[in-house]
Amino acid sequence: MSPPAVELRDLRVELGGASILAGVDLTVAVGEWVTVIGPNGAGKSTLLRAVGGLLAPAGAVNLFGTPINSFRRRDRARVVATVAQSPVVPAGMSVFDYVLLGRTPYIPALGRESAADLVAVREVVDRLDLGAFAHRELATLSGGERQRVFLARALAQGATLLLLDEPTSALDIGHQQEVLELVDQLRRAHRLTVLATMHDLSVAGEYADRMVLLADGRVVATGPPQEVLTEELLGTHYRAHVRVIPGEHGPLVVPVRPG
Ligand code: ADP
Ligand code: MG
């Protein structure tokens, strides 16, 4: 059997003297979509950063069976790509050049991109329907268009593990669906593994094979959406009054005013 895409054992992160993740165990199979939920400050972004190699946590982080520390930076970038919660948009950069940044791990130091890099970028730009924007300045795009560009950069990187930190929080419901459907299509077509965080719980449940509920830096529940999106768990860990209604593709979580 092939090793899982992600394997975390007793992952611990301390930042500024505070314990942010306190012993997280998590396995994500190749091709699986796992979504991490949890209240603000639970440690979701920190977890993704640790998996992406952007932090030096205690405990084990293995990607496709290899400890993350034994990848060279360049090799790691060919395996795992991150779309951050609010990526910095370089001033004056065109969409095409931004997506081309995804090819950095393939371009030799002090070298230029090759014809193959340009072909790879054009392919991704076409696949994500960004052709009309390719020469526009990234900063002038709408939120939904920009999110597609961030995804394009991650895909151009050629990584098979995508870490998506709240990829749709800035989008209206139409663009949310569009982006998530696209991620799911790409996942199926290219056997990508997706580890995401999301705030909209109903939407999170519709797209995830499995969910992880994080609270105070610990995993408090994990399983298929029906097992994690329960009135009891959400009441306890979000202090939220909700009703959970069975839906076509997973439970639908509706906030209900208390009393
Ligand atoms: P989430 O994404 O679930 O909202 P984060 O992972 O961003 O949570 O943050 C988890 C906790 O870690 C928060 O309490 C946050 O304030 C804290 N934190 C994040 N980065 C740092 C840092 N560099 N130094 C100190 N605390 C941090
Ligand atoms: Mg976050």
% of the chain beyond a pLDDT of 70: 100
Would you say the CB of residue 86 lies under 6 angstroms from ligand 1? no
**168 shares a domain with 68:** yes
**168 shares a domain with 146:** no
**132 shares a domain with 12:** no
**147 shares a domain with 259:** no
Looking at residue 121, its pLDDT comes to 93
pLDDT at 194 exceeding the cut of 90: yes
% of the chain beyond a pLDDT of 90: 76
82 - beta bridge partners?
163
**50 shares a domain with 30:** yes
Looking at residue 87, its pLDDT comes to 84
pLDDT tens by residue, 133-148? 999 999 999 888 898 8
Looking at residue 199, its pLDDT comes to 92
> What is the residue range of 106's domain?
80-158
Lowest mean pLDDT among 13-27, 38-52, 142-156, 238-252: 142-156
Identify whether 118 is part of a domain: yes
Q: List, as ranges, residues with CB under 5 A of the ion ligand 2.
A: 44-45
Backbone angles phi, psi at 183, to 5 degrees: -60, -40
| C-alpha 222 – ligand 2 centre gap (Å) | 19
- Confidence grade of residue 39 (pLDDT, cut at 50, 70, 90): very high
**156 or 87, greater pLDDT:** 156
**168 shares a domain with 58:** yes
* Ligand that comes closest to the CA of residue 85: 2
Torsion angle of C-alpha atoms 218, 209, 45, 232, degrees rounded to 10: -50
Identify whether 121 is part of a domain: yes
Q: Whose CA is nearest to atom 7 of ligand 1?
A: 45
Q: Whose CA is nearest to atom 22 of ligand 1?
A: 15
pTM of the model: 0.94
Neighbours of 110 (CB within 10 A): 5
Identify whether 188 is part of a domain: no
pLDDT tens by residue, 44-76? 999 999 999 999 889 999 999 999 999 998 899
Identify whether 10 is part of a domain: yes
Looking at residue 56, its pLDDT comes to 87
CATH of the domain at 241: 3.40.50.300
Q: How much is the average pLDDT of 142-162?
A: 91
- What letter represents residue 217's amino acid? G
**62 shares a domain with 168:** yes
Average pLDDT, the chain: 93
**228 or 1, greater pLDDT:** 228
The total domain count for the chain is: 2
**96 shares a domain with 50:** no
Would you say the CB of residue 40 lies under 6 angstroms from ligand 1? yes
**47 shares a domain with 9:** yes
pLDDT tens by residue, 80-133? 999 988 888 888 999 999 999 999 888 888 889 899 999 999 999 998 889 999
- In the chain the beta strands, taken as DSSP E runs, fall at 6-15, 18-28, 33-37, 58-63, 66-67, 80-83, 161-165, 193-197, 210-215, 218-223, 242-245, 252-255
- Non-local (6+) Cβ contacts of 29 within 8 A are 4, 5, 193
Residues 133, 127: Cα–Cα separation, whole Å: 13
**125 shares a domain with 49:** no
Q: How much is the average pLDDT of 202-210?
A: 97
Identify whether 38 is part of a domain: yes
**239 shares a domain with 167:** yes
Q: How much is the average pLDDT of 13-27?
A: 96
Lowest mean pLDDT among 34-43, 75-84, 170-179: 170-179
Identify whether 183 is part of a domain: no
